[in-house]
Amino acid sequence: MGKFNKGGKKQMPALNSSSMPDIVFAILFFFMVTTTMRSETLMVKMKLPTASEVQKLEKKSLVTYINIGPPMDARLGTGTQMQLNDRFAQISEIQDYIAQEKASMNEADQPLMTVSIKADDATRMQYITDVKQALRQAYALKISYSARQGDN
């Protein structure tokens, strides 16, 4: 039984960490593939409404966002504002925006374009309706009312 504890002061061998970069690179690639870059900074405050029957929006490249809510910057007041692509915009600018987004898409993907309306839950429906009418005029007919998964 003298096999163990030979008595000699053995040094612990150094841990072979040469595969560490490989592992980290694997994680890195995973993140690069599954995530998308944050494309815009939010300029409006919004608390999305909750809904239980939400569907996930797949294919992020097909989704265009319209953010609606009171501005983050209190100096701009508390009225409802709309943010398109990093700046505040008026409803009349939606058509140009949609046309521009559509033009930047692959031609085959254009009919699949979805507009996600991300609006604060205290927004008046008048505003949403105006946005919807503008989207109709722009022939962006696939829309999604963005909502958080909730239990109601």
From candidates 16, 34, 92, 106, binder to another protein by CB under 8 A: 34
Which helix (H) or strand (E) element contains residue 135? helix 125-137
The helix/strand/coil state of 32 is: helix
From candidates 13, 21, 96, 109, binder to another protein by CB under 8 A: 21
Q: How far apart are CA 82 and CA 69, in angstroms?
A: 7
CB nearer to another protein: give 56 or 75: 56
The helix/strand/coil state of 47 is: coil
CB of 82 to another protein, least distance (A): 13
Stretch that binds another protein, among 1-9, 46-54, 83-91, 100-108 (CB under 8 A): 46-54
For residue 120, what are its two tokens?
A: 């604060």
Q: Does 99 bind another protein (CB under 8 A)?
A: no
The helix/strand/coil state of 41 is: coil
Between strands 114-119 and 63-69, the pairing is: parallel
Q: Which residues contact 3 (CB under 8 A, 6 or more apart)?
A: none
CB of 128 to another protein, least distance (A): 6
Q: Hunting for tokens 């053995």 — which residue is that?
A: 10
Binders of another protein among 66-85, rule CB under 8 A?
none
Q: How many residues lie near another protein (CB under 8 A)? A: 58
Residues in contact with another protein by CB under 8 A are 17-18, 20-21, 24-25, 27-28, 31-32, 34-38, 49, 51-58, 60, 63, 65, 114, 116-126, 128-129, 132-133, 135-137, 139-149, 152
